[in-house]
């Protein structure tokens, strides 16, 4: 179910959401498009409204004559040229030479103690004081979101989400059949807590409030510390759990990121904190973590045993070695990422200012990977996404980031992490061409 507060996503409707491509959406109000029963296994109910003949494209570059020539604003992934390849090679070699037996055995479902200790120590640098037993290693941050769903959600529970929000979370939770209560953003400061509080006072009782306070996906919004404290106060007053998703918190380009909500006093029983190594190491490692109360962490561990039993042991031990590698100097390496991505952000913002005029407007993120471009006119989102590769550029239409997919028709998410700074001007020129194509 989808509810919208203070936004424009329309009335509540039952919809199923493919986390990556809105083309798999089916409007249940059109009976002619419903599937004809066929022989074979009976799928879960949440899949009933996805047509069997809807293909899943492999990437935002699908449809390009030469995918290698596409300027990639579509995927929110780190730049391959910034991966710590040499350090990763040293780390894996060290594991296989010195600790291969332990690395190749079955591991603890909650993660190796070495990596959990490393995560707890790094979390402490950002004000999160936890014991090792409160850390669970996950196979990517999406598994952390799935653990939240499997452990906490019952059919029909309400999740309050930012509108727009990370589409991957919507897709992960869809099988648990929740209601999504959409809370609009308050400019560049994140979730509008006045709207959330009004909903709570009117009787809304979300079990979870999902937020990305630091450099939100897809807008880059940054929630100030005072608003983070207010969100926690609301959680304690109305007894809901905050799922704080923080994959970008270390990638700040101006001022240092405010303390996570999980670092504030009284957060232990009301905040589940999700982190990832994908954005600062490499996404192919599939390495993330959840920090929660001991009670919740224990349940996460029990749940994970029935999913993949444990995250890859070789990669966990390699990550510890990489972080401790004096030749790399991990903190200096992360600082170099900040400088590189800040340069790319500035180049994109400069290109937008030079080439995209009124009535369009866009965000100026202080960190993370994303710029949210509002075109000032309704554009068919899927059509625009298909037009991009024809003009040598990939992007994601704004509709992808709303439950139900009705809002965001005038917006595009641009990721500046992968294109080089010297590609931004040409990339924006191609975006303009794609917009013109989508208008036609």
Residue ranges per domain, the chain?
A: 44-82+333-439, 85-323
- pLDDT at 167 exceeding the cut of 90: yes
> Across 251-394, where does the E strand assignment appear?
271-276, 288-291, 361-362, 370-374, 393-394
| β 361-362/370-374 pair status | antiparallel
Q: How many Å apart are CA 160 and CA 336, to the nearest integer? A: 35
pLDDT confidence band for 62 (50 / 70 / 90): low
pLDDT of res. 385: 81
Rg (CA), the chain: 22
Closest CA to 274 of 252, 241, 305, 302: 241
3-class state of residue 335 by DSSP: helix
pLDDT, residue 406, reads: 76
pLDDT at 173 over 90: yes
In 3D, which of 90, 89, 258, 243 has the Cα closest to residue 168? Answer: 243
83-102: pLDDT as tens digits: 999 999 999 999 999 999 99
3-state secondary structure of 384: helix
Bridge partners of 179, per DSSP, are: 158
Strand partners, 290: 136, 274
Residue 215 pLDDT more than 90? yes
Q: Are 258 and 223 in contact (CB under 8 A)?
A: yes
Quick check: 397 pLDDT over 90? no
Residue 175 has a pLDDT of 92
pLDDT digits (tens, 9 = 90+) for 342-379: 999 999 999 999 998 788 899 999 999 999 999 888 77
pLDDT value at 107 more than 80: yes
Strand, coil or helix: 252: strand
Q: What is the mean pLDDT of residues 48-59?
A: 50
What number of H helices and E strands is found in the chain?
12, 14
Exposure b/e, 116-126, CB count within 10 A at least 16 = b: bebbbebbeeb
Percent of the chain with pLDDT over 70: 86
Digit-coded pLDDT (tens) for 23-40: 333 333 344 444 555 566
What phi, psi does 394 have (nearest 5°)?
A: -110, 145
pLDDT at position 317 over 80: yes
With 80 as the cut, is the pLDDT of residue 7 above it?
no
Residues facing residue 209 across a β-bridge: 160, 242
Q: Quick one: average pLDDT of 430-436?
A: 92
Q: What is the mean pLDDT of the chain?
A: 88
Write out the two tokens for 309.
């039993």
pLDDT at 20: 35
| Rounded Cα distance, 267 and 434, in Å | 45
Q: Which of 21-25, 189-193, 271-275 shows the lowest mean pLDDT across its residues?
A: 21-25
Residue 13 has pLDDT above 50, yes or no: no
* pLDDT value for 18: 36
pLDDT, greater one: 87 or 19? 87
Choose the CATH number for 44-82+333-439 among 3.90.245.10, 1.10.3720.10, 3.40.50.300, 3.90.1150.10.
3.90.1150.10
Is residue 394 within 8 A of residue 73, CB to CB? The reply is yes
pLDDT at residue 123 in the model: 97
pLDDT over threshold 90, residue 128: yes
Amino acid 29: pLDDT: 39
List, in order, residues 6 or more apart from 202 with CB less than 8 Å away.
none
Mean pLDDT of 300-314: 95
DSSP state string for 58-119: SSTTTT-SSGGG-EE-S-----GGGS-HHHHHHHHHHHHHHSHHHHHS---TT--HHHHHHH
Tokens of 347: 């180049």
Digit-coded pLDDT (tens) for 377-391: 877 777 888 899 999
| Under 8 Å between Cβ of 414 and 348 | yes
Task: State the pLDDT at residue 195.
Answer: 98
pLDDT per residue as tens digits for the range 219-263:
999 999 999 999 999 999 999 999 999 999 999 999 999 999 999
Q: With 70 as the cut, is the pLDDT of residue 14 above it?
A: no
Quickly list DSSP for 146-204.
HHHHHHH--TT-EEEEEES--HHHHHHHGGG-PEEEEEEB-GGG-B-HHHHHHHHHTT-
In the Cβ-directed half-sphere of 180, how many Cα atoms lie within 13 Å? 36
Q: Express the helix, strand and coil content of the chain in percent, nearest 5 each.
A: 40, 15, 45
Tell me: pLDDT of 47 over 90: no
- Percent of the chain beyond pLDDT 90? 75
pLDDT recorded at residue 409: 84
Residue pair 391/434 in contact (Cβ under 8 Å)? The answer is yes
Q: What is the pLDDT of residue 38?
A: 58
Supply angle C-alpha 277, 279, 283, rounded to 5: 75
- Contact (Cβ atoms closer than 8 angstroms) between residue 348 and residue 428: yes
Per-residue tokens: 37: 């029963």
Give pLDDT, residue 144.
97
User: What pLDDT shows up at residue 66?
Assistant: 62
Strands 158-163 and 208-211: parallel
CATH of domain 85-323: 3.40.640.10
């Amino acid at each position: 179910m989808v509810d919208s507060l203070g936004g424009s996503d329309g009335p509540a409707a039952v919809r199923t959401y493919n986390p990556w491509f809105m083309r798999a959406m089916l409007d249940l109000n059109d009976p002619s498009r419903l599937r004809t029963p066929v022989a074979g296994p009976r799928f879960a109910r949440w899949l009933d409204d996805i047509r069997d003949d809807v293909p899943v494209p492999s990437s935002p570059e699908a449809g390009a004559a030469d995918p290698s020539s596409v300027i990639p604003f579509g995927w929110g992934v780190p730049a391959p040229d910034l991966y710590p390849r040499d350090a990763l090679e040293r780390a894996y070699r060290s594991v296989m030479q010195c600790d291969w037996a332990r690395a190749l055995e079955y591991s603890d479902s909650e993660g190796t103690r070495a990596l959990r200790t490393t995560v707890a120590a790094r979390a402490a640098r950002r004000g999160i004081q936890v014991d090792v037993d409160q850390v669970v290693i996950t196979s990517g941050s999406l598994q952390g979101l799935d653990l939240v769903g499997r452990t906490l959600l019952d059919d029909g529970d309400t999740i309050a989400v930012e509108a727009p929000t990370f589409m991957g979370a919507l897709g992960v939770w869809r099988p648990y059949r929740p209601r999504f209560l959409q809370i609009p953003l308050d400019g560049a400061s994140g979730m509008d807590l006045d709207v959330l509080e009004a909903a709570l006072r009117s009787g809304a009782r979300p079990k979870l409030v999902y937020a990305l306070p630091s450099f939100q996906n897809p807008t880059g919004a940054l929630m100030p510390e005072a608003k983070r404290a207010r969100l926690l106060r609301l959680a304690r007053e109305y007894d809901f759990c905050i799922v704080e998703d923080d994959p970008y918190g270390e990638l700040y380009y101006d001022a240092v990121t405010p303390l996570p909500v999980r670092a504030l006093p009284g957060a232990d029983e009301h905040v589940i904190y999700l982190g990832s190594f994908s954005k600062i190491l490499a996404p192919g490692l599939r390495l993330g973590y959840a920090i929660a109360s001991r009670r919740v962490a224990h349940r996460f561990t029990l749940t994970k045993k029935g999913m993949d039993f444990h995250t890859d042991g070789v990669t966990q031990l390699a990550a510890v070695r990489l972080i401790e590698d004096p030749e790399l100097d991990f903190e200096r390496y992360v600082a170099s990422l900040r400088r590189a991505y800040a340069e790319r952000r500035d180049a994109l913002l400069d290109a937008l200012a030079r080439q995209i005029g009124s009535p369009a407007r866009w965000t100026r993120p202080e960190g993370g990977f994303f710029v949210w471009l509002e075109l000032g006119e309704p554009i068919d989102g899927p059509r625009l996404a298909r037009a991009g590769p024809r003009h040598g550029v990939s992007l994601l239409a704004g509709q992808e980031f709303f439950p139900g997919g009705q809002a965001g028709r005038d917006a595009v998410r641009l990721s500046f992490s992968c294109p080089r700074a010297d590609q931004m001007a040409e990339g924006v020129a191609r975006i303009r061409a794609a917009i013109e194509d989508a208008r036609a």
